Amino acid sequence: MDPIKTELVVVGAGPGGYAAAFYAADLGKKVILVEQDKRLGGVCLNRGCIPSKALLHATELIAETHDSAARGITFAPPQLDVAKLRVWKEAILTKLGQGIAGLAQRRGVQVMHGRGYFEDSRTLRVETEAGQQFVQFEKAIIAVGSKPALPKAFDLGNPRIMTSTEALEIEDVPAELLVIGAGYIGMELGTVYARLGSRVTVVEALDSILTGADADLARPVVKFAEKAFKQLRVKTKVAKLATAGKQIKAVIDDGSGALKEELYDRVLVSVGRVPNAADLGLENTKVERDDKGFIKVNPRLETTDPAIIAIGDIAGGVLLAHKAHKEARVAVEAICGESSVWENIIVPAVVFTDPEVAWAGLTEAEAAAQGRKVEIVRFPWGASGRALTFDRIDGLTKLIIDPETERILGVGIVGHGAGELIAEGTLAIEMGATARDLAETVHPHPTLSETLMEAAEMFFGHATHAYVRKRCVE
């Protein structure tokens, strides 16, 4: 069969790949999008962001019904139909997947379902159900993403040992669940299972949870976890897992000198992600990888092969869908000859725990590590009328400000809906806004967004709902 010729081939249809394919088509390129899964959308849609947030939302209701008793509204204990929950979640994924496929069609993006493999720097072989097809391209964007890391000591082939992919399927609700790793995936999925009724034990090798988040932002999540989970243990490692009948035996090293053996019904391993760079034929190109296996790129997302670009999880950095999406925009503009580069781009982070944690720009820990002089203001949500109406005063809005220019360098928020609120902080940092800009922008009342305005007012020593004297520079 003759090879298909195209200007651009995109390998992988996750939030990086399909965004790149669509944008390039919008800019007039002839594009082929290659995806091995039946449904487009990548990890994010199929086994990441969307299913996890659907389950977090569904199970939040369970927690809400408990809490509402204190407000004089009581409910009968919830009945759980896990099969129906799965069907509902799947329906969301189907709808979104169909939406992406429809958008590809309307833009004239040719979707090829099959596994892509580079024969050389200008040819991709695609293994489709109908057989092999060859695509000759002028440029290729690799957006093949990442998969859960499963260290050898945990990889027993026992279905009771799950990664996030299996955990999202909710096969059942285990009585005792061990979560290894207290990063955002472990904490989010631990929250889902705890709300469904599992006794959840989370162990983390480091001395804190949610690496990357400032300690004051993580603290309310620790408080929640200490109540909602059976145990949250930091500085604790799982040395080994073994099958023990219908359970899993975990050998735990808590640093006390003696190893402990504990039994669990299921184990979720959430210890990080590894790039999908194997069996891609990269050795037939000039593409180089770093020591962790991620593809090396320059600020224009170009690899060491002039015809090949890499974006999203496979290009390393923070492994988040919106980072992949933004890289898609930069990469396509670079292909089209524009001067776009990945420079000074603020990538917010959101952890959808209870409460949510979100931050953007410079963190307090980073400022300290850099020895950078900053002023920090913290507006406690106990002073927010809106937080009280939600019964959620366990929040905090924090601004990290340059004391000389008064520019907002970083924003951190912990609390109900922090994930939605952080966008304003991200925009403020991107636009070079000052504390005065935030303080003088009228925010609607009563909303949690006012906490950003009041935090900025605190910088000037006159927040309406919090009494502060003008502090010295920290």
Q: Facing residues of 141 across strands?
A: 10, 309
By the rule CB under 6 A, 303 interacts with ligand FAD:
no
Amino acid (one-letter) located at 235: K
- Which of 32, 35, 198, 225: binder of ligand FAD (CB under 6 A)? 35
Q: How far, in Å, CA of 69 to CA of 61, rounded?
A: 13
By the rule CB under 6 A, 143 interacts with ligand FAD:
yes
User: Given the structure tokens 């001395």, which residue do they identify?
Assistant: 207
Name which of 44 and 101 has its Cβ closer to ligand FAD. 44
As given in the structure block, the two tokens for residue 420 are: 């939605």
The stretch among 7-15, 242-250, 251-259, 455-463 that binds ligand FAD (CB under 6 A) is 7-15
By the rule CB under 6 A, 15 interacts with ligand FAD:
yes
The stretch among 41-49, 81-89, 91-99, 396-404 that binds ligand FAD (CB under 6 A) is 41-49
By the rule CB under 6 A, 37 interacts with ligand FAD:
yes
- Contact mark string toward ligand FAD, 271..290, x via CB under 6 A: -----x---x----------
- Which of 59, 123, 133, 146: binder of ligand FAD (CB under 6 A)? 146
CB neighbours of residue 404 within 10 Å: 9
By the rule CB under 6 A, 116 interacts with ligand FAD:
yes
Question: From the CB of 374, what's the least distance to ligand FAD, in Å?
Answer: 26
Name which of 188 and 454 has its Cβ closer to ligand FAD. 188
User: Given the structure tokens 């090798």, which residue do they identify?
Assistant: 205
Query: Which sequence positions are flagged as catalytic?
Result: 445
CB neighbours of residue 130 within 10 Å: 10
Query: Torsion angle, CA of 173/179/185/187, rounded to 10 degrees?
Result: 90
By the rule CB under 6 A, 200 interacts with ligand FAD:
no
The stretch among 24-32, 142-150, 191-199, 375-383 that binds ligand FAD (CB under 6 A) is 142-150
Question: From the CB of 99, what's the least distance to ligand FAD, in Å?
Answer: 15
By the rule CB under 6 A, 353 interacts with ligand FAD:
no
- Contact mark string toward ligand FAD, 152..191, x via CB under 6 A: ------------x--------------------x------
By the rule CB under 6 A, 43 interacts with ligand FAD:
yes
Interface residues with ligand FAD (CB under 6 A) are 11-17, 34-37, 42-44, 48-49, 52, 115-116, 143-146, 164, 185, 276, 280, 312-314, 319-322, 324, 352
